[in-house]
Structure 1
Amino acid sequence: MYAGFVANVNRLNEYRKSKISNRNFLVVAALIVGVLAGLAAALLKTITHHIEKFLQTDLHWQYKYYLYLLFPLIGIFLSVAYVRRFIRKGKFETGLTPLLYTISRNSSKLELHNSYSQIITAALTVGFGGSTGLEAPIVTSGSTIGSAVGRFLGLSYREITLLLACGAAGAIAGAFNSPIAGIVFAIEILLPEFTIPAFIPLLLSAATAAVVARFFYNEQLFYLVTEGWEVNALGFYVVLAGLIGLFSIYFGKANYAIKGFFYKIKHPYKKVIIGGLMLGALVFLFPTLYGEGYITIKNLLKGDTTAVINNSIFADYSIFPAVILLFTVITVFAKSVATLVTLGAGGNGGIFAPSLIIGGLIGFSVAFSINTLGIAHVNTANFIVAGMAASLGSIMHAPLTGIFLIAEITGGYVLMVPLMITTAIAYLINRSANKYSIYTKPLADKGQLSHHEDKDTTVLNMMKLRYLVEKDYLVLKQGDLIKDKMGEVLQSKRNLFPVVDEQGKLFGLLYVEDILKVAVGQSIDETLAIDELVQPVPQLLPIDADLKQVLQLMENENVWILPVVDSQEEYVGFVSKTAIFNKYRAMLSRQADYLS
């Protein structure tokens, strides 16, 4: 039955290819992906906010507020338990780094369970108070939808990657009601190379997702900013950008330190207990850390300067401006720790929303200080908005995403100049210390990152060594006699022969020149064995070796061909520079024809 279904799909694809060009067909596929990504975004937002509403409002119990210490632990525990119980065959990973790896090294093939498992685990984590964001899980979910649609339709790697990016763009557009930011995010973060023809599918997918998500979930994230900016305040925006740039560097270092701490804890539920209790204590002291934290930014934008300290055990001191400022600054650092602890303990989420909250709080702190000290009078809401854009752009190394996302969700296009200045400066400060973003550094450290600045690496990462191995070599055994194999050697079109032992492992190499030296002008010794003429192997290549490293090795060893072995070190075949270069040229040709 399954074979028949596959055959019907293949026939449908062949018919489609004969009637519709790839360019036009991808428009239709992008619309489908946009609808599904929009539904996924609306579903995740709805489930998460229903959980939050039930715990905070609908649950009536005399002692429920004591449970706020345990709610985050419960959410992370349920998330980890779900993964361990229901995702046994596949692999479950969080954040955008695995997504970038999939594009770079796994032909953009995401495991199908990510389309729903990311939604379930993120809703449990954030709904119960995990101090992280929903955007990374929904991007992974939307990307999986795009990847699955592309594979189902029998598309190429490049086309699947485009639909994957359409799913991500649709997810951001649906989550924030910001289609332009969705497109910019997909181009800035996910697509190794951007071509103009890819813009139309991205645009349609993002717009469709925004419409679908808005139909099912229509809650305004932030209040609109309507007041413009003053030229006299530009110097203060530069100060804000510098502070956020420095903080983004700290955030990156804290990320690796806290991840390293939890990585040393091997038992998953021990991580949950330690991280959950740490997070519960932080949420108890700083209520703003509960969940995504957008409600605090909403209140600050409305002019409620005590929004950060309200509902905390320090609320009675909110009449003192110095206490408000100090509490806000501490909350900024606490938010970064709480986010990283949530993720390290096993919760699912991302740093998208935390970046916005951190930037907004820093922006509020700067504006509140300026106004309170009487240095000048600045618009606090404008600084909050600029801080959010700068923080997102610098931490994620996505300045355009930060600018357009904040401009869309706050209506802050009148603040475009301050947004551009603060985001650019903060990004450059972070980039001066970190060549790679918080997402790409783990891949860069392992040599697994494809990047548009290195097109050779990008193309080589698309190629797999196992598909370039040549196996039409005459295989000789270690104990064979030369006279018994002379006929096969003379008929062979190769001048090199692998010699294997009884276990099939490569023993050495035999060159036809060495055989001819003992054969020409004299009769071959009846007892002359192959292993007496064999030459040592210069270097063995594992079948999953990185092709860029293979070419580098060939260059260093000054060889044109190398033997390949499998995981048991048994002989498989040979790979040559010629085969690699031919495939490389074919890949470049396919990219040139992309979407033609």
Structure 2
Amino acid sequence: MYESLTRAVNKINSYRKTKISNRNFLVFAAVVVGILSGLAAALLKSLTHHIEDFLQTGFHWQYKYYLYLLFPFIGILLSVLYVRRFIVKGKFETGLTPLLRSISGRSSRVEFHNIYSQIITAAVTVGFGGSTGLEAPVVTSGSSIGSNLGRFLGLSYREVTLLLACGAAGAIAGAFNSPIAGIVFAIEILLPEFTIPVFIPLLLASATASVVARLFYSEQLFYIVSQGWETKALIWYVILACLIGLFSIYFIKANQAVKSFFYRIKSPYRRVVVGGLALGALVFLFPTLYGEGYVTIKNLLLGDYNSVINNSIFSSYNEFPAVLLLFTLLTVFAKSIATLVTLGAGGNGGTFAPSLIIGGLLGFTLAYTINLTGLAHVNVGNFIVAGMAAALGSIMHAPLTGIFLIAEITGGYILMVPLMITTAISYLISRSYQKHSIYAKPLADAGELMSHEDKDTTVLRMMKLKYLIEKDFSAVEPQEQVRSRLSGLFKSRHNIYPVLTEERVFLGLVYAEDLFQQVLKNNAEQPVIFSELMQPAPQVLAPDTELQAVLAGMENEQAWLLPVVDSRGVFLGFVSKTAIFNKYRALLARQADYLA
């Protein structure tokens, strides 16, 4: 069956290559990816909201509200059970880090099950109250659609990567009804060096996905009432930007701490219990943490400032502005912890939506405080919108995505200048603390990130010494007589020979020049053994040595070859500059193909 399908696909590819240019075919494939990713976005939103509606309004029981303490736990447990039960052969990963890893080191391969498994696990996680967003899962689903379609059609690495980015762009466009933001997201996060040939497929995929998703959800996510912005308020936007920039640093540190905490818990079910119950307690104290949390921001933009504290156990104090401000500020910190706990416990989601909620609440807190104290009078809605853009840009290190996404989903293009100022400043503050985003940092630490600021270092860190070891060398033993091996050694294509024990423990090196000198002496009365000609190696390498250190050692010792041994001293082979440079050129060509 599989062979027949493969032959059919090959025939189709051969036919279309003769009838359709590759560029035109990619445009057609991008439209298909856009349609499918738009459907994926609509399906995820619909499924999640149906679960939420059922639990909140369709499910009736006398003690139903006590279950709100357990709903997040149930959602995370269902997600973990699904992964462990149905994803046996593949690997399930959440967030955008796996996508970046796929592009950098896995030939843009995203496993097929992500098309549906991301939707299922995210829907139950968020639908049952997990305090995270749907955007990262739907981006992974869309990217998997593009990746698998490209590989099914037998496309090259560059073309598969482009379709992967089209799927991601379509997912963002479909989730937010924001085609421009979808394009910017794909370019800023997945395709860091923009080239003109990728623009048209991205544009068509994003626009198509937006149209498809709009058939199911035509309502604008947020509405903002604004008459514009005033120049005298710019200083307050700068202050907001600084606050959000500092908060993004806190979020980065909290992300590392929470991840480390859950990493130490080995049992996945114990993680579910610890995280699920902690999340339930947070949602009980701060009801706005339930699910994505967009409803709260929508109400704030409509002027319902008490919506933050309403439905909580502190709702009776909503008449006191100071209590409202304190509760909102606590909600901001609680939202960040709740999001990280949801993900650490095994739920599926991302930090996209939480970033928007956090930024919006911080913008509201500052603007409401300014108006309350009489320091000035500012438009609260403007600051909520600016805070959302700034938080997204600084936490995700995607300032352009933050600006265009917020401008599109709020209809607030009139606020472009405040959006740009707050986002740029907060992003610079965040980047001054950590160069890479929370998604890219794990790859950067592992040397797997495709960076274009320092191509030499990036390419060398992508290479692994253990894959460059050459093993076709003639080895000699220390007590062997030289003349007994001369004929075979001189036929070798190398001019250096490792001296090994019977257990293949490395002792040293013998060079061809010394053998020639021995032949010229031709003293048969005093036979020479290899240990007498052996010299110590300039440097001995371990198989996990970084290539930068290897090249530095070769340069210092003026050596073209260096031996590689394991932890027991057993000889594994040699690594040569030739092998390193050949692999380096191959990876550079691959990067050029990726950016073409």
Correspondences of 1:285-296 after superposition (within 5 Å)? 285-296=285-296
Report the residue type matching 2:540 in the other structure.
Q
1:208 CA displacement: 1.6
1:144 CA displacement: 2.0
The answer to whether the 8 Å contact 2:79/2:347 transfers is: yes
Check 1:162–1:535 CA distance in 2 against 1; reply closer, same or farther (3 A cut): farther
Structure 2 CA distance for aligned equivalents of residues 36 and 156 of structure 1 = 21
Structure 1 CA distance for aligned equivalents of residues 113 and 525 of structure 2 = 64
Check 1:201–1:476 CA distance in 2 against 1; reply closer, same or farther (3 A cut): farther
3-state SS of the aligned residue for 2:60?
coil
1:193 CA displacement: 2.5
- Does residue 351 (structure 1) correspond to residue 351 (structure 2)? The answer is yes
Check 1:215–1:482 CA distance in 2 against 1; reply closer, same or farther (3 A cut): farther
Q: Deviations over 1:201-226 (max 9, x none)?
A: 21122112212222234443212545
3-state SS of the aligned residue for 2:497?
strand
Correspondences of 1:146-545 after superposition (within 5 Å)? 146-460=146-460, 470=470, 472-474=472-474, 482-498=482-498, 508-522=508-522, 530=530, 533-537=533-537, 538-540=539-541, 542=543
Check 1:593–1:242 CA distance in 2 against 1; reply closer, same or farther (3 A cut): closer
1:189 CA displacement: 1.4
Structure 1 CA distance for aligned equivalents of residues 507 and 14 of structure 2 = 47
The answer to whether the 8 Å contact 1:22/1:595 transfers is: no
In the alignment, which residue of structure 2 is the partner of 1:107? 107
Correspondences of 1:1-80 after superposition (within 5 Å)? 1-10=1-10, 12-17=12-17, 19-80=19-80
1:111 CA displacement: 2.4
TM-score (norm. length: structure 2): 0.91
Which shifted more, 319-328 or 477-486?
477-486
Report the residue type matching 1:342 in the other structure.
T
1:60 CA displacement: 0.8
Structure 1 CA distance for aligned equivalents of residues 11 and 479 of structure 2 = 51
Q: Deviations over 1:446-499 (max 9, x none)?
A: 333221212224444666667755555445567765444322222223212345
Report the residue type matching 2:551 in the other structure.
L
The answer to whether the 8 Å contact 1:104/1:458 transfers is: no
Report the residue type matching 1:584 in the other structure.
Y
3-state SS of the aligned residue for 2:308?
coil
Check 1:514–1:387 CA distance in 2 against 1; reply closer, same or farther (3 A cut): same
Report the residue type matching 1:493 in the other structure.
R
Check 1:565–1:290 CA distance in 2 against 1; reply closer, same or farther (3 A cut): same
Structure 2 CA distance for aligned equivalents of residues 462 and 18 of structure 1 = 37
Which shifted more, 467-476 or 395-404?
467-476
The answer to whether the 8 Å contact 2:48/2:127 transfers is: yes
1:501 CA displacement: 5.4
Check 1:558–1:65 CA distance in 2 against 1; reply closer, same or farther (3 A cut): farther
Check 1:463–1:157 CA distance in 2 against 1; reply closer, same or farther (3 A cut): farther
Check 1:590–1:333 CA distance in 2 against 1; reply closer, same or farther (3 A cut): closer
Structure 2 CA distance for aligned equivalents of residues 343 and 79 of structure 1 = 11
1:133 CA displacement: 0.7
Aligned identity (percent) is 71
The answer to whether the 8 Å contact 2:130/2:291 transfers is: yes
Which shifted more, 556-565 or 515-524?
556-565
Structure 2 CA distance for aligned equivalents of residues 369 and 595 of structure 1 = 48
- Does residue 92 (structure 1) correspond to residue 76 (structure 2)? The answer is no
The answer to whether the 8 Å contact 2:477/2:501 transfers is: yes
1:592 CA displacement: 5.3
Structure 2 CA distance for aligned equivalents of residues 164 and 249 of structure 1 = 30
Structure 2 CA distance for aligned equivalents of residues 48 and 162 of structure 1 = 29
3-state SS of the aligned residue for 2:133?
coil
Report the residue type matching 1:99 in the other structure.
L
The answer to whether the 8 Å contact 1:554/1:560 transfers is: yes
In the alignment, which residue of structure 1 is the partner of 2:143? 143
Which shifted more, 2-11 or 35-44?
2-11
Check 1:240–1:73 CA distance in 2 against 1; reply closer, same or farther (3 A cut): same
Structure 2 CA distance for aligned equivalents of residues 536 and 176 of structure 1 = 65
The answer to whether the 8 Å contact 1:23/1:595 transfers is: no
1:439 CA displacement: 1.9
Q: Deviations over 1:477-524 (max 9, x none)?
A: 677654443222222232123455556676654422232232223156
1:535 CA displacement: 4.5
Structure 1 CA distance for aligned equivalents of residues 36 and 566 of structure 2 = 41
Structure 2 CA distance for aligned equivalents of residues 9 and 545 of structure 1 = 43
Check 1:503–1:80 CA distance in 2 against 1; reply closer, same or farther (3 A cut): farther
Report the residue type matching 2:60 in the other structure.
H
3-state SS of the aligned residue for 2:348?
coil
1:70 CA displacement: 0.4
Where do 5+ consecutive residues of structure 1 fail to align? none
Structure 2 CA distance for aligned equivalents of residues 569 and 29 of structure 1 = 53
Structure 2 CA distance for aligned equivalents of residues 567 and 113 of structure 1 = 39
Structure 2 CA distance for aligned equivalents of residues 11 and 474 of structure 1 = 47
The answer to whether the 8 Å contact 2:173/2:207 transfers is: yes
3-state SS of the aligned residue for 2:306?
coil
3-state SS of the aligned residue for 1:520?
helix
Structure 2 CA distance for aligned equivalents of residues 300 and 397 of structure 1 = 26
In the alignment, which residue of structure 1 is the partner of 2:580? 580
1:525 CA displacement: 7.6
Check 1:534–1:16 CA distance in 2 against 1; reply closer, same or farther (3 A cut): farther
Q: Deviations over 1:127-171 (max 9, x none)?
A: 110111111111122222222222223333333222222221111
1:8 CA displacement: 4.5
Which shifted more, 434-443 or 293-302?
434-443
Report the residue type matching 2:511 in the other structure.
Y
